[in-house]
Chains A and B, each alone.
Chain A
Amino acid sequence: MVHPLDPGVSRRILRDMIRIRAVEEAIADRYAEQKMRCPTHLSIGQEGPAAAAGAVLDGQDLAVSGHRAHAHYLAKGGDLPAMIAEIYGKATGCSRGNGGSMHLVDEAVGFMGSTAIVGGTVPVGVGLALSLAIARKPGLVCIFIGDAVLETGVFYESAGFAAVRKLPVLFVCENNLYSVYSPLDVRQPAGRALAGVAAALGLGSSSGDGNDPQAAYSLLRTAADRVRSGAGPQFVELATYRWREHCGPMFDNELGYRTESEFLAWKARDPIPRLRQSLLSDGVIDAVWLAAVHDEIQAEIDAAFTFAEASPFPESSLASADIYSREMAPFP
């Protein structure tokens, strides 16, 4: 079924994409100041899947993600100042500075955690779904993954269990063609579609263009509706492309692991102008709306960085805190 975007949803997706891009670019611009001292994986260019998923998920839904999680956290409604402060290693960060860019969390909005080991949160997401199912709670768990996750054993083990128990899981797979510098063809046999693998595992499965936010929304919405109706776990593969280097703020096409022409072809398919043009010509938004959105976002980002910079670092005593519950007090 095709879900046409209603004006509210389409404005939300466009706004989220613009916001995510602006946040990521602000991080990239300031990274050289050397105050954000942690490995940082940006989502510039691949905002489409995250924003579309954000529009599909409800407040009661949960989400987990991996190393490249800024977009997922923000699209789920995660607290922006807490994320920026986390990247700065500050006490006000969402993980009190312990986790950095790769360990984001905002339980208040159902973002249950992103971690740095590829595939590490896949079974955790399935377990969260098990907890919803056993407690007969509404909602689903969205597990954001990259293409490399379909190489990990834990994906297969987790997907199998989710399918057996028909758990409320929505896998959102951002296929950006690369794992670090490794193209898909050294990791998957020629001609294999990731969505096909998921289907063979017993997941409801579909695939489409993640840089076409309307198409992505429609696929995700259909899949989420199926999960909510009790049809069991669903998998949506969305094609997209990372513009910057795997980790860090720079461009890295000069390394030669991908061609400039491939990069330019994907840049021409930038999801943001695509949706913006379509909404402008349909009269859903106008220049005034865009200008206001831009100003709001800029002010919000400036405030988040000011907050992060002004926040204190954690007290040194916290280096050995939060390891056990209070009852399991550490060694003397």
Chain B
Amino acid sequence: MTYAEAVRDALAVALEQDPSVIVYGLGAPDPKGVFGTTLGLQQRFGQDRVFDMPTAENAMTGVGIGAALGGLRPVLTHQRLDFALLSLDQIINNAAKWRFMFGGRRGVPLTIRMILGRGWGQGPTHSQNLQAVFAHIPGLCVVSPATPADAKGLLLSAIFGEDPVIFLEHRWLHGARGETPAGDHRVPIGRAHQLRQGGDVTVVASSILSLEALQAVDHVAAQGVACDLIDLRSIRPLDWEAIETSVQRTGRLLVLDPGHETGGVAGEIIARLTTRCWGHLRAPPRRLAMPDAPESTSPALTQGYHVRAEHIATAIGELLGLQLESASLSRRSHPHDVPGAEFQGPF
């Protein structure tokens, strides 16, 4: 199934299994069903449990917190992460801290889906990946699955866990296909997934960059370079052990970050790994991140803005002091600002 279908499947499984699960957000029951991820759920589970909301992100987040304290397991959906920024107060001051500030009495099992926009001129306020902002906050979990199976498994773990979870889902992944286990499939939060094994370089990725990295890693494998590719899946808590074990073997680390470079998650990973694996490192660690610039609407200014397979392959070569062929990865049959040739705008 597709990633979007896997998200919908997870929501259906949760709604079916536990009457305390509710699903809401702008457009949740509308005819497009949030890119297909909520289609049909209101018809199946009723208007009490699956519903639209006013354009009131901060209040509706607080409502979710209160509902969670009252025993529900709410899933709130935002069509863009950028809209969720209006709810930073409720997320950071209430959801993240409730357990702590009341002496551990009770947590907030609230799941907040945020869709990451990209391309077709989404521009400065419809395309931000601010995973680092959320990952900075003690008390929040942040997950960013790359595959349909992980989307389903992490969403179910988020819904049935006891902590607030920011669930980041990339708009360009919604159409991606993959094997997805049926039923109540769970993926533990905080556990990375190793997508490729190889001793030369450790590549750490997440979300859509895991797919770009997969392409790059397979491309350089054909040139004799074998990489460990670690798909983080969870940004916080982060699977330090998986990265450390790998870096101890490879001595070379490349971290991919779908957020801005300064203050980003890649910087945090490199700082920790450098501190802990200093003796094992054979080259300075590297990162590839979004530039420290907002994303322009003009298609002319988004060429090269996002990290793509060709950049990753080149960086792997540089870590090894090798000139690897990577240019062929940049030949695509569709423009750079759409996920595939079939995309005609406007979303």
Partner of A32, one of B56, B297, B303, B344: B344
Q: Is the CB of A152 within 8 A of B56?
A: yes
Partner of A99, one of B51, B124, B344: B124
CB contacts (< 8 Å) of B32 on chain A: these are 181, 255
Chain A 171-190 against B: per-residue CB contact (8 Å), 1 yes, 0 no? 00000000111100011100
CB contacts (< 8 Å) of A103 on chain B: these are 123-124, 297
Q: Is the CB of A318 within 8 A of B301?
A: yes
Q: Is the CB of A100 within 8 A of B347?
A: no
CB contacts (< 8 Å) of A100 on chain B: these are 121, 123, 297-298
Question: Given contacts A34-B345, A100-B123, A316-B300, is CB(A186)–CB(B294) below 8 Å?
Answer: no
A154 to B87, CA, bound (A): 12
**A150-183 at interface with B (beta carbon < 8 Å):** 151-154, 179-182
Q: Is the CB of B125 within 8 A of A257?
A: no
Question: Given contacts A151-B55, A181-B32, is CB(A116)–CB(B125) below 8 Å?
Answer: yes
Question: Given contacts A98-B124, A181-B32, is CB(A89)–CB(B56) below 8 Å?
Answer: no
The answer, yes or no, to whether A276 is at the interface (CB within 8 Å) is no
Partner of A247, one of B262, B291, B299, B347: B347
The answer, yes or no, to whether A319 is at the interface (CB within 8 Å) is yes
Q: Is the CB of B298 within 8 A of A323?
A: no
Q: Is the CB of A39 within 8 A of B120?
A: yes
The answer, yes or no, to whether A37 is at the interface (CB within 8 Å) is yes
Question: Given contacts A153-B58, A179-B55, A257-B31, is CB(A313)–CB(B298) below 8 Å?
Answer: yes
A101 to B294, CA, bound (A): 17
CB contacts (< 8 Å) of A101 on chain B: these are 121
A331 to B267, CA, bound (A): 15
* Chain B residue nearest in CB terms to A90: B298
Name, among A99, A149, A314, the residue most crowded by chain B CB atoms within 10 Å (CB to CB): A99
The answer, yes or no, to whether B16 is at the interface (CB within 8 Å) is no
**Other 10 A-B pairs with CB < 8 A, given A102-B123, A187-B53:** A34-B344, A37-B337, A38-B120, A39-B122, A39-B126, A98-B294, A180-B26, A182-B30, A319-B291, A320-B292
Question: Given contacts A316-B303, A318-B301, is CB(A38)–CB(B123) below 8 Å?
Answer: yes
Q: Is the CB of B123 within 8 A of A37?
A: no
Main secondary structure of the interface of A (DSSP, over half): loop
Q: Can you report 23 A-B residue pairs in the complex whose CB atoms are below 8 A from each other?
A: A31-B345, A38-B123, A89-B297, A89-B299, A97-B300, A98-B298, A98-B301, A100-B297, A102-B297, A116-B126, A117-B82, A119-B55, A149-B55, A153-B86, A181-B30, A182-B27, A186-B54, A188-B54, A248-B347, A314-B296, A319-B302, A319-B304, A319-B305
Question: Given contacts A98-B124, A181-B32, is CB(A313)–CB(B55) below 8 Å?
Answer: no
Question: Shortest beta-carbon distance, B123 to chain A, in Å?
Answer: 5
The 3 A-B residue pairs whose C-beta atoms are closest, nearest first, are A38-B121, A89-B298, A100-B297
CB contacts (< 8 Å) of B55 on chain A: these are 118-119, 148-149, 151-152, 179, 187
A153 to B90, CA, bound (A): 13
A72 to B302, CA, bound (A): 28
* Chain A residue nearest in CB terms to B344: A34
The answer, yes or no, to whether B222 is at the interface (CB within 8 Å) is no
The answer, yes or no, to whether A330 is at the interface (CB within 8 Å) is yes
Chain B 113-133 against A: per-residue CB contact (8 Å), 1 yes, 0 no? 000000011111110000000
A99 to B292, CA, bound (A): 17
Q: Is the CB of B300 within 8 A of A153?
A: no
The answer, yes or no, to whether A46 is at the interface (CB within 8 Å) is no
The answer, yes or no, to whether B45 is at the interface (CB within 8 Å) is no
A155 to B81, CA, bound (A): 21
Name, among B56, B85, B294, B337, the residue most crowded by chain A CB atoms within 10 Å (CB to CB): B56
The answer, yes or no, to whether B70 is at the interface (CB within 8 Å) is no
The answer, yes or no, to whether A256 is at the interface (CB within 8 Å) is yes
The number of chain A residues touching the other chain, given as a range, is 35 or more
Question: Shortest beta-carbon distance, B119 to chain A, in Å?
Answer: 8
CB contacts (< 8 Å) of B122 on chain A: these are 38-39
Question: Shortest beta-carbon distance, A327 to chain B, in Å?
Answer: 17
Partner of B299, one of A37, A39, A119, A255: A37
Question: Given contacts A32-B344, A97-B298, is CB(A257)–CB(B293) below 8 Å?
Answer: no
Question: Given contacts A37-B337, A119-B55, A152-B55, is CB(A247)–CB(B346) below 8 Å?
Answer: yes
**B286-328 at interface with A (beta carbon < 8 Å):** 291-294, 296-305
Question: Shortest beta-carbon distance, A258 to chain B, in Å?
Answer: 10
Question: Shortest beta-carbon distance, A158 to chain B, in Å?
Answer: 14
A332 to B120, CA, bound (A): 29
**B44-77 at interface with A (beta carbon < 8 Å):** 51-56, 58-59
A222 to B120, CA, bound (A): 42
CB contacts (< 8 Å) of B35 on chain A: these are none
* Chain B residue nearest in CB terms to A102: B123
CB contacts (< 8 Å) of B56 on chain A: these are 151-153
A320 to B302, CA, bound (A): 11
Q: Is the CB of A151 within 8 A of B54?
A: yes
**B324-347 at interface with A (beta carbon < 8 Å):** 337, 344-347
Q: Is the CB of A99 within 8 A of B123?
A: yes
Q: Is the CB of B124 within 8 A of A37?
A: no
The answer, yes or no, to whether B172 is at the interface (CB within 8 Å) is no
**A19-73 at interface with B (beta carbon < 8 Å):** 31-32, 34, 37-40
The answer, yes or no, to whether A115 is at the interface (CB within 8 Å) is yes
Chain A 79-99 against B: per-residue CB contact (8 Å), 1 yes, 0 no? 000000000011001010111
Q: Is the CB of A186 within 8 A of B52?
A: yes
Q: Is the CB of A331 within 8 A of B262?
A: yes
Question: Given contacts A148-B55, A316-B301, is CB(A180)–CB(B30) below 8 Å?
Answer: yes
**A216-232 at interface with B (beta carbon < 8 Å):** none
A149 to B54, CA, bound (A): 9
A89 to B305, CA, bound (A): 15
Q: Is the CB of A98 within 8 A of B291?
A: no
